[in-house]
Each structure stands twice: as C-alpha cells, then as structure tokens.
Amino acid sequence: MELSSASVLAFEFGVPCMLMLVLALSDAFGTRLTKRLILVVAAVQLIAVVFRPADYNTDTSAYDSYIDLLAGSSGNELLLLTKFEPLHLLLAVLTQDFRWWLIAENVVGLVLLWTLCRRTARLETLAVVLGCALPLFSSSVRFGNGLLAVACVLAIHQTERGRMIVTTFVGGLTHVSLLMVGILQRRQWLPTALILLGFVAFALVDEDVRGRAGGGDEDEFKGAGLRSFLGCVMLMLYLRARLPDYRHKLFTSDLLSALGVFLLSMLFFPVVNRWLILLMIVMAVDADAPLAKANLPRGKGGIAALALYAALMLPFLYKLATTWGAEALAG
C-alpha cells in the first residue's frame, strides 16, 4: 500500500491543525483527555507517513536505498554501507524491508510519545516536543525518534546523578547529533560555547565534516534555524515570566547558548540547527516539574501550549501549503 504525495501532504497539514484545535480546547477537555486526544491524532499522522512514496523527499529516497543495500549485506558491511545509528540499524536488520522499517520506526515513535505523555504533567512540554519532533517523521525519522527518546529519558531521569551519561548514551543510540544532549542538559553556556568552538575547529580541518555541516538544502536549514531560535526565545520568555528560579538561574545561560548555536547555524554550518532544537526540548522537559509545582491555571497553560506549538508549526504549514499549491499547479 502506498499513498500519493498529495494525500500524505494532506495528513501532514491536517494533523497539526487538529492538534492546535485540541490544545485550544484543552481547558474544557481537561489534561487527561487532552493527552489521549494528542496521542490519537499524532498516531494518525505516524500511520499515514509510513505509506509515503519512496521519492516523497530526499531523506525518504536515501532511506529506501539504504534498506535495499542492507537487505543483501551482512557482518561489517552493515556498518559500512549506511550511517544508521544502533537503534535504526537494528530495526533495519530485523525488518529487511523499507516499508516495514518505517512501520517499526513509527511504532517506536508512538511508544515513546505515549511514555512522554505518561511521564510529563504540562501541556506546554508536550506542545514543544510535538512541534519539534512530529514533522520529522515524514523525513528525518531517525532524528525525530531521537528527540522523543531523549525527551523521555530527561522526563524519567530527573536527578543529576548520572544523568549526563544516560542522556548522552541514549542520544548516541538514536542520532549522532544528539551526543550533544549531555552538555546541553547541564544548562551552562560556557561548556556549550567550548563545544561549538571545538566543532568549528574540527570542521575547518576536516573537509568531509565541513561538507556535511553545510546541510543539503541550505535555505531550508536556515529557515528552520530561525524558526527554532524564535521558538527557543518564546519558551524562555514564558518560563522567565512563570518561574522565578528560572529567571534568576537559567535564563541568561539558556539565551547565550541558544544565541551561540543560532549564529553558528545561520552564518556557517546550517546543520547545527539540530542542537538548537535539542536545547528547546531540554528546556521544555526540564521545566515540566517546576511548572507543575507552580500550580498555574490550566486555561493559561493550554493557551501557552497552543502558542508554543503554533509558533513552531505555522512556518512548517506554510511551507507545506506552498509545496502543495506548486504540485497542484504542475499537475
């Protein structure tokens, strides 16, 4: 079974609109029902994008070719033929088929999202994670699942002892760029700045790394960097207004970290935008417990969740709409 590109686009456009409606009505629904509806609506999109054409986008085409290569390989060849991280390589070896691999990846994503709904209390947290991760399941499903996995670990493992090791380990299992999560979850701008400088130095001396850091579609990456930075700033301002401890202890450091990653992404290496998305996930999940303890009115929390989700999704929906329109005119 395979859906047309137009049908998949329709699901990618319609599901975020439904999620915005659910968040808008969250005060009337209550948190528990809202979470259940979020899971059901998100599951619709995860199921639909499984059946996208192999040429739906460049990432999907690459995954299709990777799975074909893996199907006839064994031993060390499995590690050499693709850049898959351990989780995705394991699923590819077990399924041996592109469509079944997508099904396995999206089942993992749904389980992770269910776990996150169980382990978090605030809709603002879910709104940020959904806005960052869910659109990726039609393209970079590896990174999408990685973000959900990291968010789950951050929500479950809230004590500082061993947290950096655990988050880094899980990040590395799911996406190489998520090895940065251990540094970012410390919420200190200086270690982040040192890592960024180290990355620049490494990229300057290694042509392969420099080429990969430039991304594929540079305009797409730069637009995403701006969207992610504005989303980060919006989340920071919300947390600053609601949580006195955040205002005094973390706001300045988070702002400097986000600004450093954004400038590096915008001016030199667009792919570094992934760390900006990761920082936003870390901020949102770490703020979940303090926001829950603050006993904020449910209605205001729902409005904030809607605003955060809309800020992340509206640029994506605009891009989908223009793509959809261009394909309709061409057809």
Q: How many CA atoms lie within 13 A of 107 on its CB side?
A: 10
Residue 263 has pLDDT above 70, yes or no: yes
pLDDT of res. 210: 64
Are 284 and 125 within 8 A, CB to CB?
yes
pLDDT at residue 78, as a whole number: 59
Dihedral angle of Cα 318, 324, 328, 329, to the nearest 10 degrees: 40
In this prediction, residue 216 carries a pLDDT of 42
Name the residue with higher pLDDT: 285 or 272. Answer: 285
Among 237, 245, 241, 232, which residue's Cα sits nearest to residue 282? 232
Query: Sign of the CA dihedral 250, 146, 13, 223?
Result: positive
Predicted local distance difference test score (pLDDT) of residue 148: 98
Mean pLDDT (whole number) for 173-191 = 93
pLDDT at residue 24 tops 90? yes
End-to-end CA distance of the chain: 22
* Mean pLDDT rounded to a whole number for the chain: 89
Across 45-54, 151-160, 275-284, least confident range: 151-160
The helix (run of H) or strand (run of E) holding residue 238 is: helix 218-242
* Cut 0.85: pTM above it: yes
Please state the rounded mean pLDDT for residues 177-202.
Answer: 91
* 301 vs 217, residue with greater confidence: 301
Of 1-10, 115-124, 214-223, 278-287, the range with the lowest mean pLDDT is: 214-223
pLDDT of residue 324: 67
Q: What percent of the chain has pLDDT over 90?
A: 68
pLDDT grade for 159, boundaries at 50, 70 and 90: confident
Mean pLDDT, residues 224-235: 90
pLDDT at position 205 over 90: no
What does the pLDDT read at residue 80? Answer: 57
pLDDT exceeds cutoff 50 at 218:
no
